[in-house]
Structure 1
């Protein structure tokens, strides 16, 4: 058994990878239109009905012939075909009609009529198209991993510098075509997304929802958020219309917890995303990734640090209490490097993955790991795998892949499909690591997979069960490469009663089997402790704890769960396990354990067995404990979904469940509850929500079933009324604030202008300006905080500052109590309002585009400096709406060198957020001013001015936290 993050069953999460589409507004009419097409080919319709009927009878054998299938039967409500049954149905239709139906039908098809219409529209494939391609790809030159990189953005930048045209990802589409993505293309696309997000008002550290399927836009959007200084929060795109409401409510809970202000999606799921906009009042913008394509790219990424948050990975959980694992750049790179070290990863590897990109195993383990090492990543949409599981292995064959990964059910699907697939030319000999994780690993699955595909080159030692969790980025324990799987058989009763994993006798038919998940990754530690926190010896079961550089700092905005996560410097995994021979053996989840009669009972084994009984919906069984008010003890409760209604059939099924419980646990359930389909609650990744099932049981809400899409949309729209009203109220508040801000500015200007023009003394004018500026910012709610590394010198100096907004000069006036002689652009001298105002303050005007005039103006500034004036200068000469520090003109530094006076570097932050260039709706924001230590010139020549400029610019850039735009050309207005 192993677990990679919260994805105990990735099968449900890959259903939600909306690579097909979800056009909510068109769904009902589309179904009707398709139904009208059906009579064109009655033979196709009849054959489809036969295939669906046969599958229904197999999945729900106890229904016999009572279940009538029509063209308009709902695949969900009427026929209860879950994700895996739909996958099997698509495979059978493809084989029967010799077509390749679109993968999106897994989620879009609502009735057999939809399937018939799709078959009629699809051109039959030829025998040639069915044959896999062959031939080894050309070898790629080796590259060095970016060992100096402290962040993901630095890792990408290193590859862009070293080999910009190297293909990083080949995105494989459902039709077999592939779309390459080079490092440069990823970088350029991410810069455009970053610029677009900054245009929308993104601030450093803002969380951005990324609801995109496995497509090119996901990769560029993920790094675009990082480039803009934001934090990506990947969430599941909706896929199945029948589950739309439940899905969107869960994602809304995540977005609320993350306090996401922007959601990036695509055109196909935009309608559903707009419903999220209504459910989450703090979600200000829902945008498509394509809307950023024509945005001028950000010149350079926003600066970040190793300790900055790079990702919030939400684990499966309830809607009301989602857990967002906070992971820094350092956490992710530490995990990637540790996994790579354990696997011997290099740029010569080829990784094939169909895993969803919003799960850590697919996102971090496969994609970001490939990016770091410069390995080629072949990424397939999850629906392509579900529609044709063997496409996974054929892709390994085509690209001579060396590494791949999947949960246990993926290997089972391949085994099932391989029975009817031609495999003569399949070659899996290139694989050196096949990781099996993300859900319990079955020893039987491993053995059968090795036996089935061993004749086609799969080496037994390539199979590697692994263990990890989102709280440790992705991976925690890996087996040594080339060792092969180890299965431990232990006696059932000593483990259940005493927690001792005693090796079972060879003839013990009741023995339990657990798969070794390897040893801790380099730099990480694992221990097993008892209830008192004392470390246990080998082969004694207890709580698994871990620590290491990949470990999270906690859950986002969830202090209670964060406190429960830590035991001193150790983190709780939430799993029970034992150690034997240095290997980790996972026995189950702590929260799912039921204590009964002095024994520890794990429900999964019983759930799996009951799910295989005739009449029970497989994967729709919950076993949990519920308190008995009469005795004060716990009752063992079984909740199972069924469509049976005949009392005699239900009675036989009840006896079968009792017999199963007796044979497996030696205990009978206290209560068995039969519920209609879609009652047993599940997480978005397909795990049974046993605590939610217990709540349903204890409150008596034992009803289920899926509602029509129109009702789901109506409820979601109604639920979005209050959030929309809150958002509208917030916008009105913003408009009211802007009106107040401009009114206040007008009043301040009307008061200060005549005073500055009429007061007889310059010192009085400057003090009045400073007082008025401070009063304006106070009344406007733009608090100014000042931090000084050293006191300002008494004599003359040149104070230079970065320029971000029209407000910067007012900020300096409010900051420096004795006033400054501002160096202003010459264009202001001729303005009717600004000209007289600045001249009365003693401003020195300089020409920026007239070389000869600029030299003369610089001499005027030098004269002012020699006259003991304190100059205020913006050496960038202008400002832009884009964050970043532009190149510095030399005038201020020439003056400082010639006058032998110091430069005072000042960094202003926050004014761009209040009033950005081209923006006329000011926002409430704080302002910070950092006054650096005086920098004395080291000479009077040109070289001294250059040195002084570079030193001052470096100081401001360090404090600013924005990109370096040294090489950016900006036309002066």
Structure 2
């Protein structure tokens, strides 16, 4: 009987010890150095780490995992599960030059989780020693380089007494609208969501055999739920092979992703919408000639708004390399539901609904609403009026509520937030629901996500979704970077709330700033009937984003009000 993912790992290690579990491209290139770990080796490493933790009496405590991209993280994560230790994936520091925001987040997570041990690679643990003076949170916390734990330690591992309700790990939310919260994902949640991923993405035994067990290629960060639950843990769940490489190597050369898909021919690979846009920018004729994407059956797209225009252009451009439109796979999920909530049907093109209205983009592929598929078996999705807590009829927009075995236990040490988010009651429905904070509607059983409840702009009594305003702004001028625009409202004290648009543009577009301002204002007036209070153009990479790449509109608004945005040509003030 499989009670945890560790049971799955043990079975695969026994039945196919020499099969490659993970292949890691050290340089991001298929012809560069490649590290491989078999199921037999992975099981030994997991048991060795587990035994080390058990011998120090750490069962039941929290362990912060701070690893650079690579396979060592997987052994440590599974080792925590095997020891009955609650894993806490985090972003590792990068020495003295590390990003201040990442360091602040790490400090917050260590304190909130009350971590007793930090597991990491040699360089990471060394970097923590240098940062110790700036990190009083490290006092009394054991730090260990898991590479130094010998395989022989596996012999003293003892199976922990776990059940479905035991917490497996804390998945800290990305904090797009609030401070990060630790979602308590149980072993039962994890197994149920792996079941849903398997079912929704068509990972049947026949498909696995057809692809020679090559199921995933992924560069997604493993400290985020999409990269962890999908490519990394579904691999262990099914006993297949995944090819991994660093997010940084993808960002440096986006064609590496497509090249790895072409080389290893996986069934499934995906990313947020911005990654598909980056690939489109680098789609040279030479690259298209070198690629064969015909084996790619599930190109999942989630974690941020899915753009209809991106789907259309990606299918058209990479069709020359064998990519099929039917492989496009918009999906929806969140950490509070472990990961996956809805997903499309394999071998079926995504559903696009033309936008209503008379704006310049209405009725076009650019403005179409994108269907994110249907919930898997055992998961219930309803649309609710968040104030009246009543279910809305099909077609009406409201808050997305979810119920099922994948819904997590709650927030770590936050009873109030747990009660508000995880304990919602719906008139006429039994059981409790998860309030996602996301807005959407159902049509023919398919979910269409329209925005965030807390990001909603209410101007002159009308609701406006920031994603709609951002898309209209980005389409107004080619210098605006896709997925790098934030729309929010500010009360000017006289006319009430008015929209502000902050958009990243290339530095060489400064000469066109006036023209860009005018075109953005015109686009929002025509498409949405809005008079924009301000359009602010900022340098690339300066709009605040979460660890998963989502726009942080509240943080951008705060920076706008504080006059701290990295504005082209100088600072701005409200």
- TM-score range for the pair, normalised by the shorter chain length: 0.7 to 0.9
Out of 211, 219, 222, which is 1:354 matched to? Answer: 219
SS for the counterpart of 2:548 is coil
Partner of residue 571, structure 2: none
How far apart are 1:437 and its partner, in Å? 1.6
Alignment of 1:306 with 2:167, yes or no, is no
Q: Tell me: CA distance 1:253–1:320, structure 2 relative to 1, closer, same or farther (3 Å).
A: farther
Out of 399, 414, 421, which is 2:279 matched to? Answer: 414
Partner of residue 407, structure 2: 551
Conserved in 1, the CA contact under 8 Å of 2:45 and 2:151?
Answer: no
CA–CA distance in 1 between the matches of 2:514 and 2:309? 32
Q: Tell me: CA distance 1:161–1:453, structure 2 relative to 1, closer, same or farther (3 Å).
A: same
Alignment of 1:223 with 2:223, yes or no, is no
Please list the CA deviations of residues 802-825 of structure 1 after superposition, one character each: whole Å capped at 9, or x if unmatched: xxxxxxxxxxxxxxxxxxxxxxxx
CA–CA distance in 2 between the matches of 1:664 and 1:608? 10
* Equivalent residue runs for 1:858-877 within 5 Å: none
SS for the counterpart of 1:562 is helix
Alignment of 1:156 with 2:13, yes or no, is no
Q: Tell me: CA distance 1:470–1:251, structure 2 relative to 1, closer, same or farther (3 Å).
A: same
Out of 699, 702, 710, which is 2:563 matched to? Answer: 702
Please list the CA deviations of residues 25-72 of structure 1 after superposition, one character each: whole Å capped at 9, or x if unmatched: xxxxxxxxxxxxxxxxxxxxxxxxxxxxxxxxxxxxxxxxxxxxxxxx
Partner of residue 122, structure 2: 267
How far apart are 1:552 and its partner, in Å? 0.8
Between 1:371-380 and 1:541-550, the stretch displaced more is 371-380
Conserved in 1, the CA contact under 8 Å of 2:88 and 2:170?
Answer: yes
Q: Tell me: CA distance 1:608–1:451, structure 2 relative to 1, closer, same or farther (3 Å).
A: closer
* Equivalent residue runs for 1:694-843 within 5 Å: 694-698=557-561, 701-703=562-564
Alignment of 1:250 with 2:92, yes or no, is no
Partner of residue 324, structure 2: 459
CA–CA distance in 1 between the matches of 2:549 and 2:302? 15
Structure 1 alignment gaps of length 5 or more:
1-147, 494-503, 707-973
Please list the CA deviations of residues 453-499 of structure 1 after superposition, one character each: whole Å capped at 9, or x if unmatched: 22333232222111111111111111122112111113047xxxxxx
* Equivalent residue runs for 1:462-501 within 5 Å: 462-492=327-357
Please list the CA deviations of residues 851-897 of structure 1 after superposition, one character each: whole Å capped at 9, or x if unmatched: xxxxxxxxxxxxxxxxxxxxxxxxxxxxxxxxxxxxxxxxxxxxxxx
Q: Tell me: CA distance 1:675–1:467, structure 2 relative to 1, closer, same or farther (3 Å).
A: closer
Conserved in 1, the CA contact under 8 Å of 2:65 and 2:89?
Answer: yes
User: If you compute each CA radius of gyration, which structure gives the higher value, 1 or 2?
Assistant: 1
Partner of residue 44, structure 2: 188
Alignment of 1:293 with 2:156, yes or no, is no
SS for the counterpart of 1:418 is coil
CA–CA distance in 2 between the matches of 1:362 and 1:510? 29
Conserved in 1, the CA contact under 8 Å of 2:543 and 2:551?
Answer: yes
Out of 55, 59, 66, which is 1:204 matched to? Answer: 59
Out of 192, 204, 228, which is 1:334 matched to? Answer: 192
CA–CA distance in 1 between the matches of 2:271 and 2:121? 26
Q: Tell me: CA distance 1:169–1:565, structure 2 relative to 1, closer, same or farther (3 Å).
A: same
Partner of residue 172, structure 1: 25
CA–CA distance in 2 between the matches of 1:296 and 1:689? 44
Please list the CA deviations of residues 925-963 of structure 1 after superposition, one character each: whole Å capped at 9, or x if unmatched: xxxxxxxxxxxxxxxxxxxxxxxxxxxxxxxxxxxxxxx
Conserved in 2, the CA contact under 8 Å of 1:450 and 1:458?
Answer: yes
Conserved in 2, the CA contact under 8 Å of 1:195 and 1:295?
Answer: no
CA–CA distance in 2 between the matches of 1:479 and 1:423? 27
Conserved in 1, the CA contact under 8 Å of 2:12 and 2:39?
Answer: yes
SS for the counterpart of 1:490 is coil
CA–CA distance in 2 between the matches of 1:593 and 1:572? 16
Partner of residue 604, structure 1: 467
CA–CA distance in 2 between the matches of 1:325 and 1:465? 24
* Equivalent residue runs for 1:310-709 within 5 Å: 310-317=168-175, 321-345=179-203, 346=205, 347-348=208-209, 349-350=213-214, 351-492=216-357, 508=363, 512-530=367-385, 531-566=387-422, 567-568=424-425, 569-608=432-471, 610=473, 621-629=485-493, 633-639=496-502, 654-672=517-535, 680-698=543-561, 701-703=562-564
CA–CA distance in 1 between the matches of 2:33 and 2:488? 47
Q: Tell me: CA distance 1:563–1:212, structure 2 relative to 1, closer, same or farther (3 Å).
A: same
Conserved in 1, the CA contact under 8 Å of 2:95 and 2:127?
Answer: no
Conserved in 2, the CA contact under 8 Å of 1:263 and 1:283?
Answer: no
Out of 88, 91, 100, which is 1:236 matched to? Answer: 91
Conserved in 1, the CA contact under 8 Å of 2:6 and 2:82?
Answer: yes
Q: Tell me: CA distance 1:432–1:513, structure 2 relative to 1, closer, same or farther (3 Å).
A: same
Please list the CA deviations of residues 658-681 of structure 1 after superposition, one character each: whole Å capped at 9, or x if unmatched: 323313321112345677887643
Larger relative helix fraction: 1
CA–CA distance in 1 between the matches of 2:281 and 2:101? 30
SS for the counterpart of 1:467 is strand
CA–CA distance in 1 between the matches of 2:541 and 2:261? 36
Partner of residue 752, structure 1: none
How far apart are 1:180 and its partner, in Å? 2.0
Structure 2 alignment gaps of length 5 or more:
426-431, 568-574
Please list the CA deviations of residues 324-351 of structure 1 after superposition, one character each: whole Å capped at 9, or x if unmatched: 1111111010111122123331343422
CA–CA distance in 2 between the matches of 1:438 and 1:678? 19
TM-score, L = length of structure 1: 0.52
Q: Tell me: CA distance 1:314–1:414, structure 2 relative to 1, closer, same or farther (3 Å).
A: same
Conserved in 2, the CA contact under 8 Å of 1:492 and 1:512?
Answer: no
Please list the CA deviations of residues 137-157 of structure 1 after superposition, one character each: whole Å capped at 9, or x if unmatched: xxxxxxxxxxx3011111112
How far apart are 1:272 and its partner, in Å? 3.8
How far apart are 1:563 and its partner, in Å? 2.1
How far apart are 1:618 and its partner, in Å? 7.1
Please list the CA deviations of residues 789-848 of structure 1 after superposition, one character each: whole Å capped at 9, or x if unmatched: xxxxxxxxxxxxxxxxxxxxxxxxxxxxxxxxxxxxxxxxxxxxxxxxxxxxxxxxxxxx
Q: Tell me: CA distance 1:479–1:333, structure 2 relative to 1, closer, same or farther (3 Å).
A: same
Larger relative strand fraction: 2
Q: Tell me: CA distance 1:617–1:587, structure 2 relative to 1, closer, same or farther (3 Å).
A: closer
SS for the counterpart of 2:332 is coil
Conserved in 2, the CA contact under 8 Å of 1:679 and 1:702?
Answer: no
Partner of residue 113, structure 1: none
Conserved in 1, the CA contact under 8 Å of 2:309 and 2:366?
Answer: no
Please list the CA deviations of residues 216-249 of structure 1 after superposition, one character each: whole Å capped at 9, or x if unmatched: 2111111121222211111122459766222101
Please list the CA deviations of residues 621-672 of structure 1 after superposition, one character each: whole Å capped at 9, or x if unmatched: 43222345556x423334456899x999866655444323313321112345
Instruction: Name the count of aligned residue pairs.
Output: 545
Conserved in 2, the CA contact under 8 Å of 1:678 and 1:705?
Answer: no
How far apart are 1:587 and its partner, in Å? 0.8
CA–CA distance in 2 between the matches of 1:480 and 1:409? 22
How far apart are 1:586 and its partner, in Å? 0.7
Conserved in 2, the CA contact under 8 Å of 1:250 and 1:319?
Answer: no
Conserved in 1, the CA contact under 8 Å of 2:277 and 2:310?
Answer: yes
CA–CA distance in 1 between the matches of 2:219 and 2:498? 41
CA–CA distance in 1 between the matches of 2:237 and 2:285? 38
SS for the counterpart of 1:311 is strand
